[in-house]
Amino acid sequence: MFLARVVGNVVANKKYEGTEGFKLMLIQPLGDDQQPKGVRQVAVDTVRAGEGDVVTCVGSREAALACNPTFVPVDCAIIGIIDELDTSEA
């Protein structure tokens, strides 16, 4: 699981069977300091995130499982929207 910021929408005229109901978003993974880390990715949005939202994402098999009820070939899925993030140490 990793944090990312939604930076845009992806429009696809044709999608793989089973992914028709899902929106595709462009995300920028974030490091522990909430700064951009790595390359941007396309993610399936399972929670109706919007541009600018900080989200939690999963990759690989877990991403495909997040697209219930169908196991579809995706590599990244948005599974949560972060309301507040406290990075202070206890």
Query: Tens of pLDDT along 16-69?
Result: 887 888 899 999 999 988 899 999 999 999 999 999 999 999 998 888 888 776
Per-residue pLDDT, 90? 55
pLDDT at 7 > cutoff 90: yes
Q: How far is CA 15 from CA 21, 36, 42, 66, 81, in A?
A: 9, 28, 13, 17, 24
Between strands 76-81 and 41-45, the pairing is: parallel
At 51, list the tokens: 């541009």
